[in-house]
Amino acid sequence: MNLTKQTIDHIDLRNKRVIIRVDFNVPLDDAGQITDDSRIRAALPTINHAVDEGASVILCSHLGRPDGKPDPKLSLAPVAKRLQRLLDKPVVFAHDCLGDEVKTLVGQMKSGDVLLLENLRFHAEEEQNDETFASQLASLGDVYVNEAFGTAHRSHASTVGITKFMKMSAAGYLMKREVEALEGVVENPVRPFVAILGGAKVSGKIGVIENLGKRVDKVIIGGGMAFTFIKAMGHGIGRSLVEEDMLEFAKGIQEHALSRGVKFYLPVDCVVAASLEPSAETKIVTIQEIPEGWYGMDIGPASVKLFSEAVENAKTILWNGPMGVFERDAFSRGTLSMAHAVANAYAKTVVGGGDTALAVHRAGESDSMAFISTGGGAALQLLEGKHMPGLAALPNRP
């Protein structure tokens, strides 16, 4: 799959002020320290290219959900420090994303300089895709580059509105890689093609299940969403997560897959807990024997073996969603085991972002994956075959 949109390579950046919308929405600990900088690293090729071409680079991003007002805990200041270290050159930090201070800083920029603006979402107008806000942002630069795949499914001022006010707009290298990797795996997979879908809810993945169901050779379902499928088959699931209004859909999807010759895998055992307290008693039971009142929290060892064997001969694997509550050690084994199994398969492995990317990182298998998406919701939307406003707003290739 080749991206049909104009990319940064199609534009002469020399002596231009280039606004790059990056996705620096990184996880921070309680002390405000960055715990995973992979999203910052992912944008480096585009930033370095603009610097090397002699542009002055103005970076803008959101961080967290500050609800349209400044929140010191969600400042991008720690990101500026980390970026400076990664680029090995000074990064000037602006304490707002608009206003006189920003205009002054932009006016002082020379070719090759890098400026990071403060959190866009400190202004409510960003998420409202406000035209005035978008035009003020656009007035800072000559060229706009969207490198923020993680927000490409949102119609915000910095992803959609801004393009109306720029003479030149383009996609960055990461945006190009994300779209080509995710669309490529769905449109033109090398077979056998296996989809592993996990996470909490079926409802959040309806579109993906329907879109992939027509294209895959095998589907593996884990995580909380598996219990909706298990209940639809008539088994008791104790107090495990279930979406009652999704039971018919789950049953229909399974029947449809089987009628088309798609192999459909559900857990055969699971790790259950007597309560949701961290100290609760846990045990491994078959799917038919989940005790009344207990909670299913992870796939069990027999399911890990079954799923691992199912991916062994795969040539393309797409994985989106963990196999259990992997954030807690007692329930992390299923997800981490799948990360190892996927990494060991001789396949093109594409990992949907969000929790799955974090799980692969925790398992120490990031380097073994062909592609790890930086966008959770955006990756899902693309895999559903849905319209991406941030991408649609960019001009097509000349």
Q: Mind telling me the catalytic residues? A: 39, 201, 354, 377
Q: What residues contact 98, with CB distance under 8 A and at least 6 apart?
A: 123, 133, 136, 137
Query: Cβ distance 331 to 275 under 8 Å?
Result: no
How many angstroms separate the Cα of 217 from the Cα of each of 257, 258, 331, 337, 349? 9, 10, 28, 22, 15
Per residue in 118-132, is it b (16+ CB within 10 Å) or e — as a string?
bbbbbbebbbebbee
Q: What residues contact 93, with CB distance under 8 A and at least 6 apart?
A: 76, 77, 80, 115, 116, 118
Structure tokens at 222: 């884990």
**Nearest-angstrom CA–CA distance, 266 and 370:** 25
Structure tokens at 333: 């084994």
Q: Minimal CA–CA distance to 64: which of 116, 120, 22, 146? A: 120
Which three-class secondary structure state does DSSP give residue 49? helix
What is the identity of the amino acid at 288?
Q
Dihedral of CA atoms 251, 379, 164, 43 in degrees, nearest 10, equals: 170
**Nearest-angstrom CA–CA distance, 13 and 323:** 45
Q: Minimal CA–CA distance to 158: which of 75, 24, 60? A: 60
Q: Chain-centre distance of CA 218, in angstroms?
A: 23
Structure tokens at 146: 């969207």
Query: Cβ distance 265 to 222 under 8 Å?
Result: no
